[in-house]
Structure formats: structure tokens, C-alpha cells
Amino acid sequence: MIRTSKMILLSAVVLGKYSELITKQLLKLGQLDFISVKEMSPEISDSIKSINTEYSPSKLSDMRREVEGFILSAGLKLPEHVEIEKYNFDIEKIKNIETVIEEIEVSLENIRLKQKNNQRDILRLKEIQKQLEGSKENVSFLQIRSGFLEGTYEEILEQLRVYQCVALKTVDANQYIIINLKRDSEKIDEVLSNFNWSKVSQTNNDNITSINVKIDKHIDVLKINQTELVETLKNKIKSYESQLDEMWKTLNLSEKFFSMQGFFNKTDKTYIFSGWIPLRSKKIICDTILKTCNNDCYIEWTTADQATKAGIIPPVELETPKLLKPFEKVIVNYQTPEYGTLNPTYITAITFLIMFGMMFGDVGHGAVIAITGLIGLIVTKGKNSLMSLLIYCGISAMFFGVLFGSYFGWSWFPAVWFNYHGAVAGGHTSGPITSIMQILALTVWLGVGTICLGMIFYWYNCIVKKRWFNLITDKNGLAGATMYIAGVYCAYIYMTTNSFSNINWNIIAPFFAVPGVVFFVKLIIEAMHNNADGKFHFGEIPLIIMEWFIELLEVFSGFLANTLSFLRVAGLGIAHVSLMTAFFYMADMFGTSTVLNTIGYSAMIIIGNILVIGLEGLSAGIQTLRLHYYEFFGKFLIGGGTIYNPIKIK
């Protein structure tokens, strides 16, 4: 729990006849993060073969997404429960699915063609309408005529569809008004002659309005058609609902099944596979494999240390309780910790909430944030971890609100720790902190504490990874820490006595000098290490001195900046109080003497609270994240890990 989960590498050889059963069981357990046997043991790569299936996982994934597309576009829901034991992974089944997908595609293609034609008919009519508008301005490219045609309306329409032409039915069944662009006249004449066109009268611009109305009606009909076609399409897909459900389940499982089998290698009679599992799952995995194969298999375990020595890096699993998952996301978003190092989730949960709470301590505001998070969590069905984080932050703000005695900016109850409003805005104060300077000092101490904690974690990581050189010589190692503690002591003495003369330099000077020497020696050792002959070259001394000087400067300025950076915790807290105070002043200007004044007063208080919750909440969140990413994680979190990613059904 304190460190990333211990992993162990499983290598197994099973008889070919058990391969499907084993795959199903492993998929059900969802614990194995596979690695390539050929890459792990290149010496046996010639004697083992990969398993090739007719359907690759990517092809299956395409098919699954295609089915998913049908399901979602018909407004259906994706199936949820998948029972792997029931499934029989035969290629015929997948071939059959491919045929059904094609069949659905073909049946939909017909409808889509109708949709496309319908859309073009609408556009054509709209274009003709535009031309009719032009006719009113005597710039017409239209030819409008009326006459009789023999043949069905659909046949006529089908032949005219290729041109910008509209055939409108009149009261008489066989009489039509033909409107087309003059540029297509000859071609339209040809089409009309196929239907024995006989002209009856010349249509002139006087009945353009009535033609327009007819076209409008026609467009309305086409739009209804359009809606009907969408429904037809959906219904068509729905008619395959149960099949699609089954197809999706099969494809989803097959995709995972064949992905897993893709990591299997085979000899003539056996299958070999290898992958990482958390150490805690060793027994269950072992028992499952043995039981499935009737003890007829060979299992080998390799510890993470042995594997690392062989150049196989274990994946990282941060074993975090579900409740703390949002904080794990905060960490992984920064970097995945290196295998075997500290899992900072638990401590991050504490520091994150302390910092946020100190910046945003108010029971009412915290409650609003927590409720917002809760609503968000319900709306997103628990899928958005940011919402869980909001709930935590809200609760923390409420907790600190009680400590600071702040309830929507009012002091309804006395502060348990100290009155933040009183300390910032003056007036009633209580508790150990009564001024802004004390608040600033408090947050600087918070910074010192966090930085020291970060350095302790770094030492821990160095010890577990046996990086002794880094432990002693790094900026965050013992040398840097000694210098930092000495610096903090000097600053403390100066701040409390306003003079450096009270510092006993005979004692303190070595705390600066020894780390300084350590940094210098470190640079010499690094230079030797970087030289091809492994020796120290005296010509490099000026460069080393320069680097040493810069490093010292960086250590001093870096630690100073890191510590002072925590002043933002006070800054945000003070801003929070000041904004509320400002809104209270503004509200007081309205007063409560009349009903209107009371309304103005209440509105100002409500608007103020909304603004403070929105602006300050966002700022506090961002600043908390920033303090963790720059000042805390940067001290100890050694990244570069690969997240543990087992193949599982979900």
C-alpha cells in the first residue's frame, strides 16, 4: 500500500487442448498484463510460433465498433452482462457475424440511397425556388410549362431527377407543371417526349406565387419523407436488435480473447505465455491454471527484482481503495511512479485536502461545492472522477470552515481554531492566529513541512531503489536537505529577532559548507563517469566550478521559491475573505430598511457568494494542483513507470 504493488512475472506452459479454457479463465480473472515471450526469451524465439487467427483483434475491434454504430444510431443500449463461459470462440461464428453486418449494411444502403435522393430533391426544389425569386426581378433562368404526361409520377420523377427540374402534379391526375432551368431545356424535352408530352397552356409569372406554394408543400412532403426514412432506418436496425446484442457480446469477447491469445506462443503440442500479475493474486492465478489444466502444466515465477536485472521492467499498479481513486488520477496525470517506489496516493489525499481547505475554508461554500460534485456524480453515473474530487474538496472546505468559523462569510458559530475573517478584516478575532502576518507564517510553515515530507519520501525512494549516490548528493537528498534545514533555521532566527547576529555561525556554517563540498564532489564523480576513460581531467575544473556555482544558486533560489510558493495558500484564503467582506460592505449599502432594500441586500449577498464560490473555488483548485505538481511531487516522484494494464472483459 505504501509502495506500488509488488508484481510477479508468470510464465506458463500448457497443453494446446487447454489453451481456450485457460484464455477464458484468465480473461475472467482479468489480472494478467501480458508480455511477449519472444522478447523476454529471444533464445527460444526460433522454436516457438505465434498464433495466427483469421480475425485479428483489430479487425474484430472494427467489427465490434461497426455493430456498436448500428446499436447506438438506432437509439438502443449496449449490452452489459457478458458471461464468458457460455461462449464458444469459433471462427465460423465470427464469419457469420461478418455476413450479418454486410446484410444489414446492404439493407440500410437502400434506405440511405432513398435518403440521399430525398435530400437532393429538397435541395433541387429550394434551388428552383431561389430561381423563382429571380423571376420576380425579371432575371429568370426558368422555363415553366404545363402539360399532360403518360406514365407514373415515380417514373417521370426518376428520369427528371438528374436535372434541375420540378414536376408538380395538378388536380388532373396526368397534368403536370414542369419547371426547369432554361439551360437544360433540350434535355428535359427529350425526357418529356418519352412520356408523350402534350403542352396545354403557357404558364406565366402571374402564378409564380401559387407555384411557390406548391413547391413549399412538396418540400414539406419530402421533409416528412425524410423523417420517415430515418425512422425506417432505425426500425430496420431494431429488427436485428437481439442479433446485434449477441453479435456485440461475441465480438467484444472475441476481441479480448484473441488479443490475449496473440500473446500466446506455441510449440507442436504446447502453448507458452507470460505476463505480470500483482503478487497478491499469485495463489488464485496459480490455482486457476492448475485446476483448468488438471495439474498438467508447468508454471514458473520470476520476481520483479530478477526480471529487472534481466532488463524486463515490471508494470506499476497503485493499489488504491476506490474512494481515493480521484487522487490516484491526480498523480498519474503528473507521472506514473517508478515500480517499487512510494505510492503517494494516501498522503496526496491528505495534503490536497488540507491545502484546498485552507484556501477555501467556509462551511456554506464547501457544502455548495460538495453538492455540485454529488449532482455531477449522479448525472455522470459515477464515471467522472472530477466530481468525486469536488465532493472531497467541498467536505474539506466545510471542515476548515468549522475551524475558521466561516458560514457563507458569516460567523454563525465561534471558530474552533481561529477566526479567519477577524484575522484578515480586523474586528472580532479568536484563537492563536489574529493577524495576516501570522496567516502568512502559518502557510510558510506548511510549505516547509510539505517540502521536508517530499524530501523524506525521496530518501525512501532512493533507499528502496538502492540509489545511495543520489540519496547523499542530490538536491532533494541528504545534502540538499541539510542545506534546506539550515536555511530554514537562519530564516526563522532572522524573522523572529530581525538580525542574523543571533545565529551561531560556528555551528551553522558546516551545515552549508559540507553539502556544498558534497555537490562539488558529485560533479567531479559525474564528470569522471561521463568520460570514456573513466578518469578525471583537470581541464574540466573551470566547467565544474561553473556548474557547481550554478547548482548552488539553483538549490538556494529553488528552495526559497518552493517555500514561498506556499504563500499562495494564505493569498487565496485572504482573497476569499476579502471578497466576501467587500460583498458584505456592498450589501450593507442597500441596508434592510425597506422591502426593496432588503431585496437588494439579499441579491448582493447571493451574487457575492456565487461569484466567490465560482472564482475562488476554481482558483483554489488550480493552486492546490500546482503546489502538488511543482513543489511536492517534484521533490520525490520518480516517474517513468508503465501502468499495469491487464486484459479483462470490461
Q: What minimum distance in Å lies between the beta carbon of 116 and other proteins?
A: 5
Cα–Cα distance for residue pair 477/471, rounded to 1 Å = 5
Kindly tell me which of 98 and 526 has the beta carbon lying closer to other proteins.
Answer: 98
Q: What minimum distance in Å lies between the beta carbon of 222 and other proteins?
A: 11
Q: What minimum distance in Å lies between the beta carbon of 66 and other proteins?
A: 5
Cα–Cα distance for residue pair 340/279, rounded to 1 Å = 13
Kindly tell me which of 226 and 642 has the beta carbon lying closer to other proteins.
Answer: 226
Cα–Cα distance for residue pair 635/576, rounded to 1 Å = 29
Kindly tell me which of 139 and 595 has the beta carbon lying closer to other proteins.
Answer: 139
Cα–Cα distance for residue pair 154/102, rounded to 1 Å = 29
- 175-181/198-202 β-pairing: unpaired
Q: Cell digits for 35?
A: 508480455
Return the exposure string of 98-131: e unless at least 16 CB atoms fall within 10 Å of the residue's CB, then b. Answer: eebbeebeeebeebeebbebbeebbebbeebbeb
Single-letter amino acid code for the residue at 499: S
Q: What minimum distance in Å lies between the beta carbon of 157 and other proteins?
A: 14
Q: What minimum distance in Å lies between the beta carbon of 164 and other proteins?
A: 5
Q: What minimum distance in Å lies between the beta carbon of 105 and other proteins?
A: 8
Kindly tell me which of 65 and 291 has the beta carbon lying closer to other proteins.
Answer: 65
Q: Give the ranges where 168-207 is alpha helix by DSSP (H).
A: 185-194
Cα–Cα distance for residue pair 255/260, rounded to 1 Å = 9
Neighbours of 171 (CB within 10 A): 5
Q: What minimum distance in Å lies between the beta carbon of 63 and other proteins?
A: 7
| Grid cell 474538496 in the structure block, residue | 393
Q: What minimum distance in Å lies between the beta carbon of 258 and other proteins?
A: 17
Cβ atoms of residues 427 and 607 within 8 Å: no
Q: Nearest Cα to 252, choosing from 16, 102, 36, 66?
A: 66
Q: What minimum distance in Å lies between the beta carbon of 165 and other proteins?
A: 8
Q: Bridge partners of 180?
A: 143, 165
Cα–Cα distance for residue pair 602/610, rounded to 1 Å = 12
Kindly tell me which of 159 and 429 has the beta carbon lying closer to other proteins.
Answer: 159
Q: What minimum distance in Å lies between the beta carbon of 495 and other proteins?
A: 37
Kindly tell me which of 61 and 308 has the beta carbon lying closer to other proteins.
Answer: 61
Residue 265: burial class (beta carbons within 10 Å; 0-12, 13-18, 19+) = buried
Cα–Cα distance for residue pair 319/248, rounded to 1 Å = 32
Contact positions toward other proteins, by CB under 8 A? 62-63, 65-66, 68-70, 72-73, 111-113, 115-116, 118-120, 123-124, 127, 130-131, 134, 139, 141, 162-164, 181-184, 187, 226-227, 230, 233
Cα–Cα distance for residue pair 129/498, rounded to 1 Å = 87
Cα–Cα distance for residue pair 325/345, rounded to 1 Å = 8
Cα–Cα distance for residue pair 121/395, rounded to 1 Å = 60
Q: Nearest Cα to 257, choosing from 504, 595, 21?
A: 21
Cα–Cα distance for residue pair 588/582, rounded to 1 Å = 10
Give how far Cα 583 sits from Cα of 123, 341, 505, 580, 614, Å: 57, 48, 51, 5, 14
Q: What minimum distance in Å lies between the beta carbon of 355 and other proteins?
A: 25
Kindly tell me which of 255 and 631 has the beta carbon lying closer to other proteins.
Answer: 255
Cα–Cα distance for residue pair 165/87, rounded to 1 Å = 57
Q: What minimum distance in Å lies between the beta carbon of 346 and other proteins?
A: 31
H or E element at residue 35: strand 33-35
Kindly tell me which of 131 and 565 has the beta carbon lying closer to other proteins.
Answer: 131
Kindly tell me which of 193 and 227 has the beta carbon lying closer to other proteins.
Answer: 227
Q: What minimum distance in Å lies between the beta carbon of 296 and other proteins?
A: 41
Kindly tell me which of 141 and 468 has the beta carbon lying closer to other proteins.
Answer: 141
Single-letter amino acid code for the residue at 178: I
Kindly tell me which of 132 and 285 has the beta carbon lying closer to other proteins.
Answer: 132
Cα–Cα distance for residue pair 428/569, rounded to 1 Å = 22
Q: Nearest Cα to 558, choosing from 458, 476, 450?
A: 476
Q: What minimum distance in Å lies between the beta carbon of 137 and other proteins?
A: 11
Kindly tell me which of 20 and 62 has the beta carbon lying closer to other proteins.
Answer: 62
| Grid cell 510553515 in the structure block, residue | 445
Cα–Cα distance for residue pair 543/540, rounded to 1 Å = 5
Q: What minimum distance in Å lies between the beta carbon of 467 and other proteins?
A: 34
Kindly tell me which of 208 and 637 has the beta carbon lying closer to other proteins.
Answer: 208
Kindly tell me which of 229 and 359 has the beta carbon lying closer to other proteins.
Answer: 229
Residue 402: burial class (beta carbons within 10 Å; 0-12, 13-18, 19+) = middle
Kindly tell me which of 106 and 139 has the beta carbon lying closer to other proteins.
Answer: 139
Kindly tell me which of 231 and 296 has the beta carbon lying closer to other proteins.
Answer: 231
DSSP state of 591: -
Which residues 6+ apart lie within 8 Å of 390 measured at CB?
A: 369, 370, 372, 373, 376
Q: What minimum distance in Å lies between the beta carbon of 161 and other proteins?
A: 9
Helix (H, G, I), strand (E, B) or coil at 15: strand
